[in-house]
Amino acid sequence: HFSVLLKESIDSLCIKQGGIYIDATFGRGGHSREILNRLSGSGLLLAFDKDPDAIEHAKHHFAEDHNFKIVHASFTHIYDYCLENNLLGKIDGIIMDLGVSSPQIDNADRGFSFMNNGPLDMRMDNTQGQTASQILDEMSPEDLARIFRVYGEEKFAWKIACRIKEYIAENGSFKTTLELSEFIRTVIGKREKKNPATRCFQALRIHVNNELGDLELLLENLLDVLSVGGRVSAISFHSLEDRIVKQYFTSHI
């Protein structure tokens, strides 16, 4: 696993050896490791992740790092954590690598990708909440089309949503990622190089994990968490996240 934009994102934080930093999306710890390499004995790195697999990885591979603490929680809990631990206004920098991580995609059992057939789950914290399969079962065609259109920017959103609901009514739930992706392919055909299910899968994942709502909540409390002169480094992979982050900084600078 290789962390994206590792040097650039950490360089932009201007790490102080004795500072307090937060990795809002620990993943497999690539960004955390680079921050720890730049901290001295008095520095502290707090890492947040809601994925149980990420927490186990941190406990196994970062156990000897005394400047490091892992928190099993979404980054939406950063404000509350800092409040409870007298850290509001004391965080020198935050790194957030938004979206799904490659270990999550590569693990078929997590159900994020049609490239690795597995149960249609998509939950980053697979100990709670509804799976993608359950959401497809329960959501109306109108709401499902809205998700595909807004979160996936899918121009065939209504057609796909209606056909999915018709299929479920006749055949029952979609159980696997391959089953859903192949069905979407039959609905709209292959019109471009990438898999025709790509946008719908992105949309479902964003909805299942409330990714954009969580990001907005994190940004809402950001200034209360950061110290004077504190820095934020954000890595985004699609226009929806990118727009939210840029609009926030434009309105707060």
- Predicted confidence at residue 190, as pLDDT, reads 75
Q: For the chain, which residues make up each domain, given as ranges? A: 6-97+211-252, 107-209
Mean pLDDT over 106-133 rounds to 94
Strands of the sheet containing 44-49, edge to edge, are 68-72, 44-49, 20-23, 91-97, 226-235
Distance CA 111, CA 115 (A): 10
Tokens of 211: 């990714």
**Average pLDDT for 169-178:** 97
N-terminal to C-terminal alpha carbon distance within the chain: 34
What pLDDT does residue 1 have? 53
Mean pLDDT score of the chain, rounded to an integer?
94
Query: Given a cut of 60, is residue 12 above it in pLDDT?
Result: yes
**pLDDT higher than 90, residue 168:** yes
Q: Please name which of 110, 87, 169, 159 lies closest in space to residue 136, comparing C-alpha atoms.
A: 169
Structure tokens at 58: 């941190």
Answer yes or no: is pLDDT of 10 > 60. yes
Which listed CATH number (3.40.50.150, 1.10.10.10, 3.40.50.11740, 3.40.20.10) goes with 6-97+211-252?
3.40.50.150
pLDDT digits (tens, 9 = 90+) for 48-67: 999 999 999 999 999 999 99
Give CA–CA dist 179/114, Å, rounded.
Answer: 9
Q: Does domain 107-209 have CATH number 1.10.150.170?
A: yes
> How many residues make up the chain in this entry?
253
- Measure the CA–CA gap between 206 and 198, rounded to whole angstroms: 12
The greatest distance separating any two alpha carbons of the chain, rounded to the nearest whole angstrom, comes to 62
Contact 176, 90 (CB under 8 A): no
**Where is pLDDT greater, at 114 or 76?**
76
Please state the φ and ψ torsions of residue 112, each to the nearest 5 degrees. -90, -25
Helix, strand or coil, per DSSP, at residue 87 = coil
pLDDT at residue 2, rounded to an integer: 65
